[in-house]
Structure 1
Amino acid sequence: MSASRLSAPPLPAEPQVMRLWHGFLNGRILVASVLLIFQGLGTVQSHANPWLWAICAIYLGLTVLTRIVGRNAPPPPQTGLHWLPLIGVDIAVVCLLQLWQAGPLNYTPLLALPILMASALGTLLLAFATTAGVTLLMLGWTTWQSLYGPSDLTQQYFQTALTCAGYFLMAYLTHQLAQRLQREQQLSLQSRLAAHLQEQVNHLIIHHLNDGVLAMDQQGLVHTANPAALQLLGCAPGLPLPFALAAHAGNAPLSALVAQTFINGAPLAADMDLVHAGQNPLGLHARTWLTLPLAGNALQATEPLPAQWCVVFLHDLREMQARLRTEKLAAMGRMSAAVAHEIRNPLAAITQANALLAEDLTDPGQQRLSQMVTHNAQRLARIAEEVLDIARVQQQIHAAEASALPLDAQVAAVWEEWRAQAPAGAQDTACPRQALVQLEAATALVAFDAEHLRRVLVNLLDNAQRYRSSAADGLQLLTGHNSASHPLDPAPAQGAQVWLQVWSDGAPLEASVQRHLFEPFFSSQSRSSGLGLYICRELCERYGARLGYQRLVRNTARGPVEGNAFTLVFYPAAALGTPSYSFDTIVV
């Protein structure tokens, strides 16, 4: 849709009332011109009263002046003195012509003009007042004629009364027709404004839909297409409408579906693959609906439009599958949280009972069995806590606000805290918590919550410590700005980006593990719940940051060594006032 279709609808240049007003003004000029010509001819031929010609000339001048001055808007319809230059002048001119004319010519039919004007443009009171004034003048003229000439007085009064009754009837009917015309105009204008508003709403909704929307005719021409549809069809964003869908060979399955919809006269749905040159096949789910056929009179009123439309909705199958996976994960999360909550209570009872039992055990074999129960109960408790931790993360995400953190100072504090912690197991004892720390973003401020950043970094350090070698630089902690060593953005975007990286010289991850690395409840270890990296990514996305994994080579004392790198690219703190992408709902 073009921008011009969204502009405010222009008001009609000639509304019905304005056309009536201009018609009356032009009619008065025409009547005045005919009277002037008629009186001029009569004055030349029979030497009639020259004052009649002068009255007609003055009347013509007044009508032309009124046409020039009052062309923009008619006078207010209410009764008032503003009608005297119109109705008053017309009645006065007719009365003067009737009074001073010498022959049997009758000018009283011209009194219908001011009555019609008052009835069509004024109120009913103005129409009846004008008609009543004309009636009194005609009765007075009849009385005047009966005084100065022999005539049948009864017949003249009857004729005058009949004429005036017709004037009243004409005034009433004309006013009713004019009122109906005005009501129809108002309804038409309201309908037009409502249709324009609905068009704007439809345009905004369709334009911002993630799904594609097409409107096609039976010849396969696309008359309406939103940006999402053009992108799915592989068309240029500014493609002029209408265009033939079949012109692109890759859209043949969709063209066939639309044609079949018109043949069947019923909506259809199908999954299809669109193959465009130089692009991977795109899987789409298409649904079609037919609009109701236009009636004959509507088709004549909008002849360039097709008699029937086919509306097509296009859905990217990849997004549909992603939403389905999200729903499945959400359902699994809710179930896991419920199970973990129910496990905690009996698990606490088992732990307490085992501790009481261990106090009375003296046999070494039984003590070892009691220790096995203790260790496995603790493992179950950790897994339950990690599952329930997702709900806690959700509450923390909604409650926390991003602040401008000095990255290097915060990372240094977390590193010292993590290194000072007691070893958690035998592997930590064999590999002391030492690393090569290179903090090169001393002036950088990042948009993050301090506690959430500590949590992410501790989780990454724990994972790296678990798989590193015993070398002193087998674990590396680095910060910096955009550079050639930036693993996620080889070609940096506009503006400086700050990053944090945790690297370890562990063995490469299998391809199947990499694909599901940040998914919940996935782990390569049987003793892990698989929630650590998932929670880290969701915390990062809350602040517009990106957490990713790559296999990178780092320089060590042993030379270049390939290892596993987890890199966090931060949202710039300078843009804290702007909304960032956030994972606002973690459903459990």
Structure 2
Amino acid sequence: MSTIASNLTTRNSGGNQSTARHELFFFNYFRLGQAAVYIALAFRPGHLAWPTLPDPLLARVMALAYLLVALVMVARTRQALNHPVLVVSAGLVFDVLAAAVALILMHDVRMGVAMMLVVNIATGSLLLPLRLSMFFAAVASLAMLGHTFFDEQPGSGDREMLEYALFGVAYFASASLCYVLGRNIRASEALAEQRGIDLANLSQVNELIIRRMKTGVLLVDEGNRIHQLNESAWMLMGNPSADQRDLGTLAPELSRRLYHWRTAGKLDETATALADGVPEVVPRFSRLAPNDDSHVLIFLDDTSLLSRRAEELTLSSLGRLSASIAHEIRNPLAAIHYSAQLLAESTDMNDTDLRMVEIINNHCSRLNEIIENILQLSRRERSRPETLDLSQWVHHFVAEYRQGNDLGADILRAVAPGEPVAAVADPQHLQQVAWNLVQNALRYGRMPNEPARVMIVARNSDTGTPILEVIDRGPGIPPKVAAQIFEPFFTTHEYGTGLGLYLARQMSEANQAALEYVRVAGGGSCFRISLTPPARTAASAPVAARA
């Protein structure tokens, strides 16, 4: 019984609970009506001879007891939803008992009592499993047939037994049909509920997609009132307050273009700014339904995003083209460089010729460096971030750099706090970025006729962001030049490629880090990498120091 009850409770949970509540209310109120019928029959006026009551007192006690049970079950209908099988089963037990006693004490109304019990069995089958429904149909049939053995009226046993047998067939038939009906109703409601959930989820997904779109989206009615707008549209319109909904007030130019589009079908595709300090947009209009101007969708295309996408496509195409050209140049360049080296080993060369060979070798090396940067730009690998301790990492980096490069009089030192500075980054990418920045600092970050003084600093910002800085004490970078140093192929040095800082920023962004130039007070330059801190769940994990 407990297993069946739990299964039915699960089956009736969620959307089916509402139907179960309605069925239980109907069942309990019908039982209350049955009790009222028994009360009316048991307390009939004395001058009425029908129905015959062999024991009026017992009949009245039975009717009052059944009325009390019916009232309790009506009052406890809402609480019964937690245990529907148990409550319905208990109610059917009382119904069958009351009917069996009524057949004995009110024999004249036996047909009506048997017919009312059909409704009890059928309604109970809507809520009960099939086995329990058949069980109560069998109990009711046996109760009806068993009454014939106690019937004291002569000559009526065979006729009543046949009548009660037919009622038994009705009990089984109604129980079967109502069980199938209840199962189909629950299946339909479960399907409808699932469809409702799917539609609600789809609506939320669509709303989230529209809200997060880079393109601004507005829904405007025929009265020029804004019904909905996403975050991008809100920002492109100058962050208006929530109570401002009139398009003509918020964006007069956009309202004017919408009016001309609605009346004349003309679309002005020139860029315009809808508010002060926001990017220019190109508006587009679309009806929600054909030939229906009651609601119009307005799309605001941010021209800065379009320009950025065009620039990205251009750089991507340029990178592929440059890589193809670099591959074609590398072989003849290697042959020229090798031939120049062989020529330099000749004993018949004078000083002028040796100088020319040296120039060839220097330019071959420079060209090879450009080719390496271009190839690195085109085949940049995906980052594989790890948790690093920058305090130890900078010391390992400086030691490794000194081993691979002759600093001479130049100074390169690491500055880090005593406690760990945890950050998440790809060690190989971070190594490349720091190597590039240090080389630039040693090459350009020096005062005339003085050695370079470069520091690589690891620290945590005031907000807890891990920071890696490469600082020099050179002349610094003019503001106009600093605004362009991260652009590809921009360089102020005659032997520069213009790709070093661009690659450094690209690798930083691939690691969710930000590379920026900061002018140092008193002279000098600082290239700051703001890295990503480790997640809170991994804060207690040991960090690795990788060079």
Distance in 2 (alpha carbons) for counterparts of 1:66 and 1:510: 85
**Structure 1 106/43 Cα, relative in aligned 2: closer, same or farther at 3 Å?**
farther
Distance in 1 (alpha carbons) for counterparts of 2:435 and 2:420: 15
Residue in structure 1 matched with residue 542 of structure 2 by the alignment = none
**Structure 1 199/150 Cα, relative in aligned 2: closer, same or farther at 3 Å?**
closer
What's the offset of the Cα at 1:24? 0.7
Residue in structure 2 matched with residue 57 of structure 1 by the alignment = 64
Q: Structure 1, residues 160-189: CA drift from partner, whole Å, max 9, x if none? A: 676666555544443333222222222222
Amino acid of the residue matched to residue 184 of structure 1?
A: S
Q: Structure 1, residues 277-299: CA drift from partner, whole Å, max 9, x if none? A: xx225212445555569xxxxxx
Residue in structure 2 matched with residue 582 of structure 1 by the alignment = none
Unmatched segments (≥5 aa) in structure 1: 1-9, 294-305, 423-432, 483-491, 555-562, 580-588
- Indicate whether 1:275 and 2:274 are aligned: yes
Q: Equivalences for 1:129-528 in 2 at 5 Å?
A: 130-131=136-137, 134=140, 148=154, 169-235=173-239, 239=242, 244-246=245-247, 248-249=249-250, 251-255=251-255, 270=269, 272-276=271-275, 279-287=276-284, 289-291=286-288, 310-356=296-342, 359=346, 373-390=360-377, 394=380, 398=384, 402-405=388-391, 421=407, 449=430, 452-465=433-446, 469-470=448-449, 472=450, 477=454, 494=463, 499-505=469-475, 511=480, 513-528=481-496
CA contact (8 A) 1:286 1:312 kept: yes
Residue in structure 2 matched with residue 91 of structure 1 by the alignment = 96
Distance in 1 (alpha carbons) for counterparts of 2:119 and 2:198: 38
Greater CA deviation, 222-231 or 202-211? 202-211
What's the offset of the Cα at 1:124? 4.4
What's the offset of the Cα at 1:546? 3.1
Amino acid of the residue matched to residue 523 of structure 1?
A: T
CA contact (8 A) 1:131 1:164 kept: yes
User: May I ask how many residue pairs the two structures share in their alignment?
Assistant: 509
Distance in 1 (alpha carbons) for counterparts of 2:145 and 2:385: 90
Amino acid of the residue matched to residue 490 of structure 2?
A: F
**Structure 1 349/72 Cα, relative in aligned 2: closer, same or farther at 3 Å?**
same
Residue in structure 2 matched with residue 569 of structure 1 by the alignment = 528
What's the offset of the Cα at 1:377? 3.5
What's the offset of the Cα at 1:454? 4.0
Distance in 2 (alpha carbons) for counterparts of 1:334 and 1:101: 100
What's the offset of the Cα at 1:56? 0.7
User: Which of 29, 32, 40 matches 2:35?
Assistant: 32
Distance in 2 (alpha carbons) for counterparts of 1:479 and 1:145: 108
**Structure 1 442/518 Cα, relative in aligned 2: closer, same or farther at 3 Å?**
same
Amino acid of the residue matched to residue 318 of structure 2?
A: M
Q: Structure 1, residues 84-111: CA drift from partner, whole Å, max 9, x if none? A: 6422332332333333337678533322
Q: Secondary structure of 1:61's match? A: helix
Distance in 2 (alpha carbons) for counterparts of 1:545 and 1:150: 100
Amino acid of the residue matched to residue 252 of structure 1?
A: P
What's the offset of the Cα at 1:462? 1.1
CA contact (8 A) 2:518 2:527 kept: no
CA contact (8 A) 1:32 1:60 kept: yes
**Structure 1 102/254 Cα, relative in aligned 2: closer, same or farther at 3 Å?**
same
What's the offset of the Cα at 1:246? 0.8
Distance in 1 (alpha carbons) for counterparts of 2:59 and 2:214: 79
- Indicate whether 1:535 and 2:503 are aligned: yes
**Structure 1 388/139 Cα, relative in aligned 2: closer, same or farther at 3 Å?**
closer
Unmatched segments (≥5 aa) in structure 2: 1-12, 538-547
Q: Structure 1, residues 346-387: CA drift from partner, whole Å, max 9, x if none? A: 112123334445638568876666555445434433432343
Distance in 2 (alpha carbons) for counterparts of 1:264 and 1:158: 85
**Structure 1 107/503 Cα, relative in aligned 2: closer, same or farther at 3 Å?**
same
Distance in 1 (alpha carbons) for counterparts of 2:363 and 2:458: 44
Amino acid of the residue matched to residue 236 of structure 2?
A: L
CA contact (8 A) 1:361 1:367 kept: no
Amino acid of the residue matched to residue 280 of structure 2?
A: G
Q: Structure 1, residues 119-140: CA drift from partner, whole Å, max 9, x if none? A: 3223445545545555566567
Distance in 2 (alpha carbons) for counterparts of 1:445 and 1:127: 71
Distance in 2 (alpha carbons) for counterparts of 1:33 and 1:270: 79
Q: Equivalences for 1:549-568 in 2 at 5 Å?
A: 550=519, 554=522, 565-568=524-527
Q: Structure 1, residues 416-447: CA drift from partner, whole Å, max 9, x if none? A: 8899557xxxxxxxxxx779x99997769766
* Paired-residue identity, %: 21
Q: Secondary structure of 1:547's match? A: strand
- Indicate whether 1:548 and 2:507 are aligned: no
Distance in 2 (alpha carbons) for counterparts of 1:137 and 1:87: 13
Q: Secondary structure of 1:280's match? A: coil
Question: CA RMSD for the aligned pairs?
Answer: 5.1
CA contact (8 A) 1:77 1:123 kept: no
**Structure 1 326/549 Cα, relative in aligned 2: closer, same or farther at 3 Å?**
farther
Distance in 2 (alpha carbons) for counterparts of 1:351 and 1:207: 58
Q: Secondary structure of 1:405's match? A: helix
What's the offset of the Cα at 1:308? 7.7
What's the offset of the Cα at 1:223? 3.8
Amino acid of the residue matched to residue 440 of structure 2?
A: N
Distance in 2 (alpha carbons) for counterparts of 1:332 and 1:389: 13
Question: Which TM-score applies when normalising by structure 1?
Answer: 0.68
Distance in 2 (alpha carbons) for counterparts of 1:40 and 1:95: 19
Q: Secondary structure of 1:72's match? A: helix
**Structure 1 265/26 Cα, relative in aligned 2: closer, same or farther at 3 Å?**
farther
Q: Structure 1, residues 250-279: CA drift from partner, whole Å, max 9, x if none? A: x2344456667878999x995642332xx2
**Structure 1 97/534 Cα, relative in aligned 2: closer, same or farther at 3 Å?**
closer
Residue in structure 1 matched with residue 545 of structure 2 by the alignment = none
Amino acid of the residue matched to residue 334 of structure 1?
A: R
CA contact (8 A) 1:262 1:290 kept: no
What's the offset of the Cα at 1:150? 8.2
Distance in 2 (alpha carbons) for counterparts of 1:515 and 1:226: 33
Residue in structure 2 matched with residue 430 of structure 1 by the alignment = none
Q: Secondary structure of 1:567's match? A: strand
Q: Secondary structure of 1:282's match? A: coil
Q: Secondary structure of 2:272's match? A: strand
What's the offset of the Cα at 1:15? 0.9
Question: Which TM-score applies when normalising by structure 2?
Answer: 0.72
